[in-house]
Structure 1
Amino acid sequence: MYTIADVATRNGRGGGPVWMIYKDGVYDVTSYIPQHPGGDVMLEEAGKDATKAFNEVDHTSDAAKILEKYKIGEIVDEEKKYDENGKKKKRVVAATDGNAPRSCMNRITCGLLG
């Protein structure tokens, strides 16, 4: 189990390892970069969550199989963004307390409307 901060330190700088995140899985792709058809383009996502970038590229069905070979772990539960089916979790916005102070803009808007 790794934190997002752990992965961020493995960004390939100074010849170090290249880790990335895909759907909360952590992958050490250091040895795959020279074999990747896109070359060093993977370095743009080094140390980051590469899920969006991976999904935006027209990868073959083999790409996910290849990626799986490099999996070294997962993101810790409290930092996960995807459910067990690989679907993005919905963000829950906490309701504010009715007694909470209003922001400046909220006061101005209420004053104009009131």
Structure 2
Amino acid sequence: MGELKQYKRADVASRNGQNNNPVWIIYKDSVYDVTSYVSQHPGGDVILEEAGKDATKAFDDVGHSSDARTILDKYKIGEIVEEEKLYDASGKKKKRVIAAQPDTETRSCLNKCTCGLLG
């Protein structure tokens, strides 16, 4: 298939099916243009509820079959840029690392107690 185009989540958000815009969704950091599939979708226009968004949770919660995943693959047009990806290469959700905030308080616990007592 060659090199896939890279998209930011904001690029996908603008393709929400409104005002004659195409219908794009994200599934596990891959971008799909499902505009032509909306009318064929067995669930009807329910797909429009996820238009322009990350549809991973909604797609998985419904319990789509492997056939549905094969159909979805036909509409893949790219991937989310690396810095905005939420999943690793195997499709598992990345663990978010929360950076520790530096302690801006310079007094120790003992200093706080002493200062409070001497007040």
Whether TM exceeds 0.5 here: the answer is yes
Say yes or no: does 1:56 pair with 2:61. yes
Q: Distance in 2 between matches of 1:26 and 1:86?
A: 14
- The structure with the largest alpha-carbon Rg is 2
Q: Distance in 2 between matches of 1:3 and 1:38?
A: 28
Say yes or no: does 1:11 pair with 2:25. no
Give the counterpart of 1:24 among 29, 34, 41: 29
Deviations 1:59-83 (A, max 9, x none): 1210000000000000000000000
Give the counterpart of 1:86 among 86, 91, 97: 91
In the comparison of the two structures, how many residue pairs are matched?
A: 101
Q: Distance in 2 between matches of 1:58 and 1:3?
A: 27
> Helix, strand or coil: the match of 1:32?
helix
What RMSD, in angstroms, separates the aligned Cα atoms of the two structures? 1.2
Structure 1's unaligned 5+ residue stretches are 102-114
Say yes or no: does 1:67 pair with 2:72. yes
Q: Distance in 1 between matches of 2:67 and 2:103?
A: 52
> Helix, strand or coil: the match of 2:31?
strand
What is the CA-CA distance between 1:91 and the residue it aligns to?
A: 0.6
State the percentage of identical aligned residues.
Answer: 69
What is the CA-CA distance between 1:100 and the residue it aligns to?
A: 6.0
Q: Could you say which residue in structure 1 is the equivalent of 2:48?
A: 43
Structure 2's unaligned 5+ residue stretches are 1-5, 107-119
